[in-house]
Amino acid sequence: MTHPPHATAAPGAVVEEIAALGPFFAVTTHPAGAPPGEPWQPMAGALPAERAAAVQAYLAAAGGQPAAAVELRVAASVAHLGLAARLVSPALAAAVLHGRPFGYHLGAVRWQPALGGPVPLSLPDDALHPRAATPEQLADAVARRLLAGPLAELADHFRPLGVSPHILLGNTASAVNGAATALAAARPELAAPAHAFAAQLLQRPPLRPQGARTPTGAFRRRSCCLIYRAAPDRRGALCGDCALRAPTA
C-alpha cells in the first residue's frame, strides 16, 4: 500500500479530507482534555445501557412492536456495531489516505446520541499519530492503538448487557470490512488499498479469527450481530456478511 505525496499534511487537513468522504467518516476534533460542552457528550459512563435502551425502542417501533419485544442483548449488539463502525471508519481512512494511525482513550471521545444514522463524532485533537514507516507497521499501530484500545474499551462497556465477546469481536471485524467498502464507494480509486489494509487488520489480533472469505471472495464474519431477531417473530433479514448465510452466498 502506498500513500500520496501529501501524507505529511497537517492533522486539521487530514481530518477535513476524511470528513469530506461522507457521513460514515465525518469527524470533528476538540481540545484534548477539555470537558465536553453541549451538544457533545462523553462516549463513556452510562453509554451502554442508555444507548441500548434507545436502540431497543427504535428497533421495536420500526417493527410495530412494544420495546420489550426486542431483546436487550440484540439492541446492545446493534448499538455496539454502529458505534464501532463510527470509530473505525475515520481511522481506516486516515491510514489508507495518509499512512497515519488514530489512537486515543474512549473516555476522550465526544458524540451526540442521535438515532437513525451515523452519530456525530468528535475526537481529541491529539488523536492522529505520525505516519508509520511501512504498511506492516501501520497495520500493527492501528491494531494496537485502535482495535486493542478504544474499540476494546467499547466492547467491554457492552459485554455486561448480555452480548458475548465473540459477537462483539465479530461486530468490530464487520465494522472494519464495512469501512473499507464505504471508502471504496466514496473514492473508487482507493478500493484496492482500502480492502488490502482492512485484510491486514483482520489478520491481526484481536480480529484474526473473526472473519473469512466465501468462495466468491466476499467477507463473512464468524458470528451474527443478532439484528434479525429484532423483527417480529425474530425473522428479520440477515446482514450481507452474516455467519448464518449459506456458505456459498
Q: In 3D, which of 29, 27, 1 has the Cα closest to residue 131?
A: 1
Q: Between residues 2 and 146, which one has the greater pLDDT?
A: 146
Domain ranges of the chain: 5-234
Q: Is the pLDDT of residue 1 over 70?
A: no
Report the C-alpha gap between 95 and 144 in whole angstroms: 13
Q: Which three cell numbers stand for residue 205?
A: 489480533
Q: Which three cell numbers stand for residue 157?
A: 462497556
Say which residues have a Cβ less than 8 Å from residue 10's Cβ, sequence separation at least 6.
Answer: none
Check residue 248 and give its pLDDT. Answer: 57
Range with lowest mean pLDDT among 5-9, 61-65, 176-180, 242-246: 5-9
- pLDDT confidence tier of residue 167, bands split at 50, 70 and 90: very high
Q: Is the pLDDT of residue 6 over 70?
A: no
Say which residues have a Cβ less than 8 Å from residue 175's Cβ, sequence separation at least 6.
Answer: 81, 84, 85, 87, 88, 89
Q: Is the pLDDT of residue 5 over 50?
A: no
What is the average per-residue pLDDT within 101-125? 93
What is the average per-residue pLDDT within 95-118? 94
Say which residues have a Cβ less than 8 Å from residue 216's Cβ, sequence separation at least 6.
Answer: 248
What is the average per-residue pLDDT within 83-109? 96
Residue in the structure block whose three cell numbers are 470528513: 19
pTM passes above 0.95 = no
Q: Which three cell numbers stand for residue 151?
A: 474499540
Say which residues have a Cβ less than 8 Å from residue 221's Cβ, sequence separation at least 6.
Answer: 170, 173, 174, 177, 210, 211, 241, 242, 243
In tens, the pLDDT along 211-249 reads 788 888 889 999 999 999 999 988 889 999 999 987 654
Check residue 215 and give its pLDDT. Answer: 80
- pLDDT confidence tier of residue 2, bands split at 50, 70 and 90: very low
Percent of the chain with pLDDT over 90: 78
Check residue 45 and give its pLDDT. Answer: 67
Report the C-alpha gap between 191 and 180 in whole angstroms: 7
Check residue 7 and give its pLDDT. Answer: 45
Check residue 9 and give its pLDDT. Answer: 77
Average pLDDT, whole number, for the chain?
91
Check residue 131 and give its pLDDT. Answer: 95
Report the C-alpha gap between 176 and 218 in whole angstroms: 14
Identify residue 248 by its one-letter amino acid code: T
Check residue 119 and give its pLDDT. Answer: 93
Check residue 124 and give its pLDDT. Answer: 96
Q: Is the pLDDT of residue 36 over 90?
A: no
Report the C-alpha gap between 25 and 21 in whole angstroms: 6
